[in-house]
Amino acid sequence: MMLIRYLSQVGRYFLMLREIFIKQTKWSVMKKLIFKEIDDLIIDSLGIVAFISFFVGGVVAIQTALNLTNPLIPKYLIGFATRQSVILEFAPTFISVIMAGKMGSFITSSIGTMRVTEQIDALEVMGVNSLNYLVFPKIIALLMYPFLIGISMFLGVLGGWMAGVYGGFTSSDEFILGAQMEFIPFHIVYAFIKTLIFAMLLATIPSFHGYYMKGGALEVGKASTVSFVWTSVSIILFNYILTQLLLGS
């Protein structure tokens, strides 16, 4: 029975995706909604992303340095390991899981509150496609999500450089040499492909849980928790699949 319930939810999710893109809201209205979502989802996330990225980059550099106990191992590997960790996994995946908590909870609670207070019913009565009105601006706003991840990559490597150099683990020249060593441009492309798919998940899964929730104020909180869990699970699952597809060959 549980399997059937999960399959019905997945089917409902894909039907929701189809509904989002039919019967578009007027552009004059949609434009304002998109700018509001960019402000709420992207601009408001800059601070937490910058803070976490900088310090986790520093931690990666310190952990790498502390594990290089053999004096024959060159110090530039600290820069190399920091760059690889930040670009390949930390910035696109770890930040996305954190954003599943921040953005996802915000999206679910805001749409869920509209459902509880019957604002969504009012939109439907006025002949507005409520899914397009509520979810489409979030999808467009999160097309800017790679910009957030690009900042995370830069600050992660910068944090690693500062921790390595000012912590006395390596010199600036050695760290930069390691950060530039054997750089593969496709790794950036791979990270941004993942980021765009994660952005779609971040916009739609929390919206799904908010839109189809039932009950009162207590259920809004429960829906936010469930949406965080499923968004995180989806991100980690897609991370595995995309890594296998794009880097596995």
Query: Closest Cα partner for 143 from 195, 89, 209?
Result: 195
Radius of gyration of the chain (CA): 21
**What CA–CA distance (Å, rounded) separates 19 from 13?**
10
- Report the distance separating Cα 77 and Cα 220, nearest Å: 47
Nearest CA-CA partner of 26 in 124, 137, 150: 137
Burial class (CB in 10 A: 0-12, 13-18, 19+), 72: exposed
Q: What is the 3-state secondary structure (H, E, C) of 83-97?
A: HHHHHHHHHHHHHHH
**pLDDT, position 249:** 59
CA distances from 21 to 110, 128, 140, 227, 238 (A): 21, 13, 12, 22, 23
Closest CA to 190 of 84, 54, 52: 84
Instruction: Tell me what pLDDT residue 151 has.
Output: 92
The Cα 35–Cα 138 span in angstroms is 10
Q: Which residues of 144-171 are buried (b: 16+ CB within 10 A; e: fewer)?
A: ebbebbebbbbbbbbbbbbbbbeeebbe
The per-residue pLDDT string of the chain (249 residues; one tens digit each, 9 = 90 and over) reads 777 887 888 788 888 888 888 887 788 888 888 899 889 888 988 999 999 999 999 998 888 888 876 777 777 788 888 888 898 888 889 999 998 888 888 899 888 888 888 888 887 888 788 888 888 899 899 988 999 999 999 999 999 999 888 887 788 888 888 888 888 888 899 999 999 999 999 989 998 888 888 877 788 888 888 889 999 999 999 999 998 988 775
Q: What pLDDT was estimated at residue 235?
A: 92
The DSSP call for residue 142 is: G
Query: What are the C-alpha distances in Å from 56 to residues 120, 145, 156, 178, 208?
Result: 40, 19, 7, 18, 31
User: Which pTM was predicted?
Assistant: 0.88
